[in-house]
């Protein structure tokens, strides 16, 4: 996933009201950027840390920039929750994820029942529904999801189980947008119900995949597969 325009560098002043962040650009100008991440962003918020923003050419937008990443432990952490969906779509379309290859058609935002899946991949043998989640929370060498209670995420797991029962392939794909972790796990202490539902989904045949994303100032690419623990 290549950024459409060169990113703008600055330093984080503060994040507030969930969707806003004040940033001092390298030029000295202080601006307010849009933060797509509605979670707590625990373990990826650090005052005065270097951040990268994408410029927005939309006269109807109140904010002129979107916050893309923050530098933590000398590594970029991708905080834009929209990017993993685009990355996963491109990676599956280009056969870059070994477990999700050889599909003739790959579509985004496909309706299923009263919900939507991020990706539907199809060939002559099967339909595969993929739900994608952005992971930024770190504890030790673990990448954890979620970083806040997510009833919406639990609903997605239940819908994946419905798709599996209907005879389709169902995949829960976690994109970990940081390099300083080695294992993925559900954040049991934050949302025990999500953790319980993920185990139930796995036991019912929903596949679980966790892949690291390599985040740079120019692009985001699929990295190595991570093991997971429930």
Residue-range domains of the chain with CATH: 8-74 (2.40.50.580), 83-225 (3.40.1350.60)
Q: Whole-model pTM?
A: 0.95
Judged against a pLDDT cut of 90, whether residue 57 lies above it is answered with no
Judged against a pLDDT cut of 90, whether residue 7 lies above it is answered with yes
**Phi, psi (rounded to 5 degrees) for 199:** -65, -45
Q: What would the two tokens of residue 110 be?
A: 């496909």
Whether the upstream peptide bond of residue 146 has omega within 30° of 0, thus cis, is yes
Helix (H, G, I), strand (E, B) or coil at 197: helix
Rounded distance between C-alpha atoms, residue 55 and residue 5, angstroms: 7
Cβ(171)–Cβ(120) under 8 Å? no
Judged against a pLDDT cut of 90, whether residue 217 lies above it is answered with yes
Judged against a pLDDT cut of 90, whether residue 19 lies above it is answered with yes
Q: Binning pLDDT at 50, 70 and 90, where does residue 61 land? A: confident
């Amino acid at each position: 996933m290549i950024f459409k325009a060169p990113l703008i560098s600055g330093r984080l002043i503060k994040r507030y009201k969930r969707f806003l962040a004040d940033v001092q650009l390298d030029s000295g100008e202080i601006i307010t950027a849009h933060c797509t991440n509605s979670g707590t962003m625990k373990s990826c918020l650090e005052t005065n840390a270097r951040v990268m923003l994408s410029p927005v050419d939309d006269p109807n937008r109140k904010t002129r920039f979107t916050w893309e990443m923050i530098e933590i432990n000398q590594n970029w952490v991708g905080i834009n929750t929209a990017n993993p969906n685009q990355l996963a779509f491109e990676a599956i379309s280009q056969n870059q994820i070994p477990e999700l290859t050889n599909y003739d058609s790959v579509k985004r935002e496909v309706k299923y029942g009263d919900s939507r899946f991020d990706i539907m991949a199809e060939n002559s043998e099967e339909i595969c529904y993929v739900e994608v989640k952005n992971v930024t929370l770190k504890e030790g060498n673990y990448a954890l999801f979620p970083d806040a209670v997510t009833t919406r995420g639990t609903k997605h797991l239940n819908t994946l189980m419905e798709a599996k029962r209907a005879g389709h392939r169902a995949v829960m794909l976690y994109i970990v947008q940081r390099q300083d972790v080695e294992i993925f796990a559900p954040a049991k202490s934050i949302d025990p119900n999500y953790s319980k539902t993920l185990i139930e989904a796995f036991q019912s045949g929903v596949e679980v995949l966790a892949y690291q994303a390599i985040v740079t100032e120019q692009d985001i690419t699929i990295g190595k597969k991570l093991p997971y623990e429930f």
